[in-house]
Amino acid sequence: MFAGLAHLPALLLAVSGGPDSTALLVLAARWRAGLDAGPRLVAATVDHGLRRGAAAEALAVAALAGDLGLAHHTLRWTGDKPAAGLQEAARAARYRLLAEAARAAGAAHVLTAHTRDDQAETVLFRLARGSGVAGLAGMARVSPLPVSGPAPPPARPAGGARDGALWLVRPFLDIPKARLVATLAAAGIPWADDPSNRDPRFTRSRLRGMLPGLAAEGLSAARLAQLAARMRRADAALEAAVERLAADLAVPDLRPGAAATIAAAGWVRAPAELRLRLLGRLVAAAGTEGPVELGKLEDVAEALAAACAGPAPAARFRRTLAGAMVTLSGGRLTIEPAPPRRHGRNAAPAPAGPVPNPTET
C-alpha cells in the first residue's frame, strides 16, 4: 500500500481520528518501523471548529501518534464559517492547512485514508451531477494537492518535490473500509465516530446510505470502483489523443491568462470529444472566472462546430465563457481573456495554480 514512498524524505499523514485515518496512522507507522531507512512521518489533524468533540478527538490522535513515536500537529480552521456550501469550504480549508503543514514538515506528499467505499461515493456523486468520463474516473491514487499555488508538473515526479509541488497520495483507495475497521479491532485500537458522516443534510451522507441497497442489486462499491478504473483508463487515452491534436494544431504552452489561435478547420475535423477537451483547455487557460462548467462548454463547442462546418461556414462567431472570449474569424479560432465587464467592473484576475480540467465537472 505504501509502495514507492520509501525513498521520500518525509510524509504528512492526514488523520482525523476516524477508523480509516486511524488505520492509516497505525499501518504507516508499522511500515516505517520495518524499514532500515525511510521517510520521517508526521501526523496532522484538522479541527474545523464545527463540532464540540473535535478537540478531544485531535488530542486522542496526538496521544496515539505519540505512542507510535510520531510527531503530531493539530491544525485549526479559524474565522467565520459560511452558512451555505459548508462542506466545500471545510474541504478547501482542510487542504490549505494540510499544505501549510506539509511545507513546514519538509514533505511534498500528503497521505489520506480514502478507501474503495469513498471512491464509490465519489463516482455516485459525480454521476448524479452528470459528470463526463474524467469525472467518473473518480479519485486517483496520486494527484496534485488541490490548493492554490504554483502549478505542479504534469506527471508525478520520481522522487521528492519539484518546483514546490505538493502531492496527495491515497494508499487505501483499493481497500474496503471494513478491512481497516477489522484491522483496528484486531489490534484493540479505538477510533472516533463523526456523526456528521451520517447527517442527511449532506449529499454524500445520503449517497452513503444508499450504497447497501445498491450493493444488493449488484452495484457494489467494488463495481463502482471498477467503473472508475475503466473510466480513468479511457480518460488517459482521450487525454493522449488531445495532446496529439494540440501538437497538430500548434497549440502553444498553456499558462493562466494565455491566449491561443488555431486553425478552425483542423479543430472541427477532430472527433467531438477531442475538440471539446481541447477547447476546454484553451478556455480554462485564458479564462478569468474559475473552472469551466462542462454543460456550458458543450453548448459553446456545439455552436462553434456548427459555425465552422457546412457549405457556408459563419464569417464570424463570438462567445464568452468563464471569462474567456471564443472568436471565429477568417478561418482562425482565437481563445483569449474576455475584455473587462461593463459598468466599470474589471474581469477577475487569472486563478492561481494549475489550469483546471473542465471535463471532470
Annotated binding-site residue? 220:
no
Q: For residue 164, give the C-alpha cell.
A: 514546490
Phi and psi at residue 327, to the nearest 5°: -130, 135
DSSP class per residue in 103-122: HHHT-SEEE----HHHHHHH
The dihedrals phi and psi of 325, each to the nearest 5 degrees, come to -105, 125
Is 16 annotated among the ligand-binding residues? yes
Task: Please state, in angstroms and rounded to a whole number, the distance separating the CA atoms of residues 51 and 196.
Answer: 9
Helix axes 221-248 and 116-128, enclosed angle (nearest 10): 60
- Reference 281, options 302, 252, 309; nearest CA is 252
Cβ atoms of residues 221 and 122 within 8 Å: no
In the block, residue with C-alpha cell 524499514: 35
Does the annotation flag 19 for ligand binding?
yes
Are residues 324 and 283 in contact, defined by beta-carbon separation less than 8 angstroms?
yes
Is 69 annotated to bind a ligand? Reply is: no
Distance between CA atoms of residues 72 and 80, nearest Å: 26
Are the C-beta atoms of residues 354 and 282 closer than 8 Å to each other?
A: no
First-to-last C-alpha distance (Å) of the chain: 29
- Known binding residue 20? Answer is yes
Annotated binding-site residues for ATP read 16-21
Annotated binding-site residues read 16-21
